[in-house]
Amino acid sequence: MFFFLVFICNCLFSQQIVTGRTIDDNGESLSAVTIINMVTDKKVYSNSQGEFSIEASANDELRFVKEDFRRVSRRVLTDGINSPLLITLFQIPKEIGEVKIVKKLTGDLNEDSRIVAKTDKGELVRNAVGLPQPVGKMREKPAEVKQVLLPILLGNLNVQGVYDLISGKARRQKRLYRYDDLQEHIAWIRNRVEDEYFTKVGIPADRISEFIEFSFGAKPQVRTYVKARNLSGVLLRLEETIPLYLDRMAKGSNVKKS
C-alpha cells in the first residue's frame, strides 16, 4: 500500500500544466482544436484565441486534431523544459466539385466554346504547379528510305535501318503512330466538349468519336486546329461538317431499310 501511494504521488506531482496556442498556416488563431494527451487520454479544446492548457508528464505525446486539418503530434516536457507551445495546423486541400451551368448557345463561337468546353483538371494542376509541358513524343523514329539509301551511296551502311525497311517494321511503326495520333486528337476534343453539344444536333452519343474522325477527313483543318489547341477553331470547322455527317447517316439508314 505504501509503495502504491508513493507511485500515485509521483505520478501526480510529476504532472505539469502545458500551455500553448494553435494557429493555421496563415498565422490566424485556430479555435475548437481538440488536444489529447495520448498517455492519460485527457482532452481539452482551444479557445477562441487558440489558447489551451492541459496536464502532462515528461515525454507525453499531445495530439492536436481538428476537422479539415492535418493532425499534429508533439512530445512535451522533454529535458524538463515547459515553455508555451505554438502549434501550426495545415488545412487539407479539398477538391471542388464541378458545377454545371447550363447555357444556350449564342452563335458566337468564342462564347460557345467556353460554354461547351469541359475543364481539363490535369492542365489546371500543371499550370498551378508550373510543370513544364512535354516537347514532342518519346517514341522510336521509323526508318526512312532516303535516310538509309543516301549513306549507302557514301559508303556507310545502316544495318538496322535496312532491316527495318525490308522487314516492314518501319511501315508498321508509321501505321501505329498514325492510329495513336488519330485517337489522341479525337480524345482531345472529347475531353473538352460536352456530349450534349453533339447529341443536340442529332449525332448519337455512341457515334461522336466516329463523327470527329469523319470531320478530320472531310475538313482537314479541324485537325490542324486540334494540333494548335484552338478549341474555337475546332468548333468552327465541326459546324461545317455536321450537315455532311447527318446526311451520310440518313443515306446509310435508307440503304439499310431498302
pLDDT at 62 over 90: yes
Average pLDDT for 104-110: 52
Residue with cell 538509309: 148
Specify the CATH number of the domain 17-89: 2.60.40.1120
Mean pLDDT of the residues in the chain: 78
* Cβ neighbours, 10 Å, residue 147: 13
pLDDT at residue 118, rounded to an integer? 58
pLDDT at residue 12, rounded to an integer? 46
For residue 78, CA distances in Å to 11, 21, 54, 165 come to: 16, 18, 16, 74
Domain segments of the chain as ranges: 17-89, 95-118+192-253
pLDDT at residue 37, rounded to an integer? 94
Q: How many CA atoms lie within 13 A of 225 on its CB side?
A: 17
For residues 31 and 238, give the distance between their C-alpha atoms in angstroms, rounded to a whole number.
56
**H or E element at residue 156:** none
Question: For the CA atoms of the chain, what is the radius of gyration?
Answer: 34
pLDDT at 214 over 90: yes
For residues 74 and 37, give the distance between their C-alpha atoms in angstroms, rounded to a whole number.
10
pLDDT at 9 over 50: no
Average pLDDT for 178-204: 90
